[in-house]
Amino acid sequence: MLFSVNRLSSVPIRSRRSCAPSRCASQEPAIEPQGQAQRNVAHHYDLGNDFYKLFLDDNMLYSCAYFREEGETLEQAQRNKLRLLAAKLNLKPGMKVLDIGCGWGDLALYLAQLEDVSVVGVTLSKEQHALATKRAEEAGLAGRVRFELKDYRDVAETFDRIVSVGMFEHVGVQHYDEFFKKLNALMPDDGVAVIHSIGHMSPPGMTSPWLRKYIFPGGYSPALSEVVSVTEQNSLWVTDIEVLRLHYAMTLTHWCNRFEANRDKVVAMYDERFARMWEFYLISCEMMFRAGSQMVFHLQLSRKRDAAPIVRDYVTDRQRAYIEREKELGITV
């Protein structure tokens, strides 16, 4: 999760001069080589699985939930999010799916439970990889779900579908071209990719220096203009786009409440300074999503304009079908 400074200022932080996102030197610094990328991930995501269990939902999803109805629990809203992403992937039997930045594996496991597909999840977090692998084995899905401790740039297989949730924020503006070129190389002409990322509705700016130093080194949440311009350069159709405006603020409310309920345990794990730092991080992020310009966007991408149905009803229809499928399989939240 990332918030940025001066997002609702009438003047963007960087110069008003026109420049291509890949060339604009005043933007966020380019991401470091792959070894540094792994160190950046470890700084945040390898704080320990026990720590994240203190405030995330039971299935440990560390990204924006999707609240369909008032009063839903965090667990229900996170399941809604998985269902929405699965619907947008428009899966078919026998497909191969790549999950870039797979976290603790819940999305990959959910897809394999509902559909006859195989899933490969990649992460740079050792803690996430270990727990995700264990969960696949315990669920009896190790034959169709595989997790690898690997940079997405090192993936060599091809996939029918690609999904990435909460990872794009760590790519770095100057590596967007590399990212979308890799997506192009990883899927066939009729392949579909769905990207779930934090962004903002204001012009390009910069990550809060405090957040970049203490919480998310190398992180940046983009303006949509910074993303779509690069998909155009890589001949990718944006076949669907959706903006989740208040859902992350609602998610963060749940995280903040759970964090405060377990604050004494956080202090025991780390110290008072760490607990105060994370309180500030979570509360500040909630305010940026509630009153600032931060939001979450979904981009569905393909090389072919008709790779996904041309009428959007299928997204709703598939979500309803998945609800019934979950009941049949006894998949509980």
Residue 41 half-sphere exposure toward CB, CA atoms < 13 A: 27
Q: Could you count the other beta carbons within 10 Å of the beta carbon of residue 227?
A: 24
Q: What is the dihedral of CA 20, 152, 300, 62, to 10 degrees?
A: -110
Q: Are 1 and 55 in contact (CB under 8 A)?
A: no
Task: Give the integer Cα–Cα distance in Å for 90 and 94.
Answer: 12
Point out the catalytic residue in the list 64, 102, 256, 285: 285
Active site residue 102: no
First to last CA, the chain: 23
- List, in sequence order, the alpha helices (H) in the chain: 34-45, 49-52, 74-89, 106-114, 126-138, 176-186, 209-214, 224-233, 247-261, 263-269, 272-290, 313-329
Task: Give the integer Cα–Cα distance in Å for 131 and 60.
Answer: 10
157 token code pair: 């297989």
Residues tagged active-site: 285
